[in-house]
Amino acid sequence: MNHVKRILIEVVRRPVRNILIALSVFLLSGFCCAGTFLEVVIRNFQNAFAEVSGYCLHVEAEGFKSLSDWQEVLKKAEEYPYIVAYNNAFEQMMICDPVNFQNVSYDGIVHQNDLYSSVYLYGYVDISCQDYFRNGRLELIRGEFPSEENQGVLIDQNLADVNGLTIGSELVLQYGDTTATMTVTGMYHAIQTPQTEQMNGYYENAQESFLYCDYGSYVQFTGQEEISALDFYVDEYAHMEAAGQFMENCIQGVENSFVANTMKGQEVQMAHVFQLINRLASVILTGTYIAAIFIMAVLILFWMRSHRRSVAIYRILGMPPAEILSNLVGEVLLISIHPMAIMYKMAEIVCRKYAAQLFNWLMGWCGASLSERTFAADNWRFRYEITDFLQKLGCLELIILGAVVVYGGIYLKSRVIQMTNQ
């Protein structure tokens, strides 16, 4: 208790010099938060691209014509720790006519005219990896995704409710002269209505229900199987390079085969912007830490001069140098922690309210074209964790306290102790 009281007294006795240190820490913390914001911008871009394409390796092999041709590659991929799923790279889709039910669009309207009476049937190896489900636009709410072990079809809940369908109900679909009966294995909720591409290149909300079946059922219905490309999904961004090299080894020797990192394909659209932001973040953070070392060295030495009398008294009273130094560290910690906390709170408010405006300004500063800025605005979503800022501010605090320990120790040894002995 006496130790804390002594620290508080020392802080209150020297307001001017302590305020100078606090202002310096406040400014350094501001630059630190700015650099952190730029790093978070890059990570948000990576996460946004992951939502679009996933941490995905696109593998094409023209020598493979069916899923059975991929079995050896799939067996190796399933044993590889970084690869968590795989799916057909190109959608398998056909427009079918419902036989024993009616199409219900995503606005809940039953369509009976020729234009909207059909439904879209998609076939996937792993439906959970399909874009709409991976991005959260569609959400499984009942039952299970169709799979090789649990063959059937996944339908929209509106379609199920209007037609009185439940898990286990059978749907009859017709494509030309071919009909197929599929069992409902699950239902999904459309959080964001799926879209279909129009002739003019624009997309509009779909009026036809989307049905999703397992790949085996789709092939059996259509009699067509050609799957020369698969997408393999990696658990995290840091493992993309290693997983890509692994997949290249798996398909080595296969005719006209290659592996493409889809994340890099997305990132290349903004490559020069990424480089500028990365460089700016690195310069700001590195410069802040280096400046902190020199600024705090000068301020601490200046601040230590005001402690000559009290330090001499502590030595005369027999206080060990380590305890004197701990008092000095405690004082600086008390002085610096408050401006850091205030700056963090200000940065949090600014990021929460003005992140989009800052991002638009940043895109303009980087010289991004209109198409790049539009692409960025469509994909970028600002999300951060409290640890993002705390880690960088923690490094700054360690530098400040380290300066106190180093320069304070030198000062104690070379100046104050000599004065006391005299």
Tens-digit pLDDT profile for residues 347-377:
888 888 887 778 778 777 777 666 566 656 5
Question: Which of 117-121, 240-244, 326-330 has the weakest average pLDDT?
Answer: 326-330
pTM listed for this prediction: 0.61
Contact predicate 145/185, CB 8 Å: yes
Q: CA-CA distance, 32 to 393, in Å (whole number)?
A: 7
In terms of domains, do 23 and 84 share one?
no
Closest CA to 234 of 9, 20, 46, 10: 46
The whole domain housing 348 covers 2-51+270-421
Residues 83, 222 within the same domain? yes
CA dist 267 and 281 (Å) reads: 18
The answer to whether 212 and 162 are in contact (CB under 8 A) is: no
Q: In this structure, are 398 and 284 located in the same domain? A: yes
Residues 6+ apart with CB under 8 A from 305: none
pLDDT for residue 422:
53
End-of-domain residue from the set 227, 260, 290: 227
Q: Among 227, 252, 285, which residue terminates a domain? A: 227
Average pLDDT over residues 89-115: 86
Burial 271-301 (b: 16+ CB within 10 A, else e): eebbebbeebbeebbeebbeebeebbeebbe
What pLDDT, on the 0 to 100 scale, is given for residue 98?
Answer: 93
pLDDT band per the 50, 70, 90 thresholds, residue 192: confident
Evaluate if residue 62 carries a pLDDT over 50.
Answer: yes
Asked if 25 and 79 sit in the same domain, the reply is: no
Does 208 lie in the same domain as 277? no
Q: Which residue has the higher pLDDT, 317 or 341?
A: 341
C-alpha distances out from residue 274 to 20, 41, 305, 354, 358, Å: 36, 9, 46, 20, 15
Give per-residue pLDDT as tens, 228-282: 899 999 988 888 889 999 999 998 888 788 888 877 765 555 666 777 888 888 8
- Is the confidence at residue 223, as pLDDT, over 80? yes
Domain assignment present for residue 56? The answer is: no
Can you tell me the distance from the alpha carbon of 318 to that of 417, in angstroms, rounded to the nearest whole number?
12
Domains held by the chain: number: 2
Which among 274, 241, 248, 244 is positioned nearest to 375, based on CA atoms?
274
Q: Is residue 277 part of a domain?
A: yes
Cα-flanking dihedrals φ and ψ of residue 329, to 5°?
-65, -40
Q: Region 286-307: what's the mean pLDDT?
A: 78
- The pLDDT of residue 86 is 93
d(CA 264, CA 323): 54
User: Are residue 296 and residue 342 in the same domain, yes or no?
Assistant: yes
- Are residue 19 and residue 163 in the same domain, yes or no? no
Longest CA pairwise span in the chain (Å): 109
Specify whether 97 is located in the same domain as 39: no
Do 11 and 81 lie in one domain? The reply is no
Average pLDDT score, the chain = 81
**Cα–Cα distance, 320 to 325 (Å, whole number):** 9
Q: Tell me whether residue 242 is in a domain.
A: no
Query: Is 57 contained in some domain?
Result: no
Confirm whether 241 is domain-assigned: no
Q: With respect to residue 371, please indicate whether it lies within any of the assigned structural domains.
A: yes
Does 119 map to a domain? yes
What are the tokens at 286? 């590195």
Which residue has tokens 């400014």?
27
Q: pLDDT band for position 5 (50/70/90)?
A: low
**Which pLDDT band, with edges at 50, 70 and 90, does 1 fall under?**
very low
96 shares a domain with 37: no
Rounded Cα distance, 119 and 105, in Å: 9
Show the tokens assigned to 121.
């049937």
In a domain, 260, yes or no: no
Do 210 and 75 belong to one domain? yes
Same domain? 189 vs 148: yes
Q: Sorting pLDDT into bands at 50, 70 and 90, what band is 162?
A: very high
Residue 265 structure tokens: 């394909």
* Structural contact between residues 331 and 10, judged by C-beta atoms closer than 8 angstroms: yes
Cβ neighbors of 196 (< 8 A, separation 6 or more) are 120, 203, 204, 206, 208
Sign of the CA dihedral 44, 50, 52, 58? Answer: positive
Q: Could you say which of 227, 258, 289 is where a domain stops?
A: 227
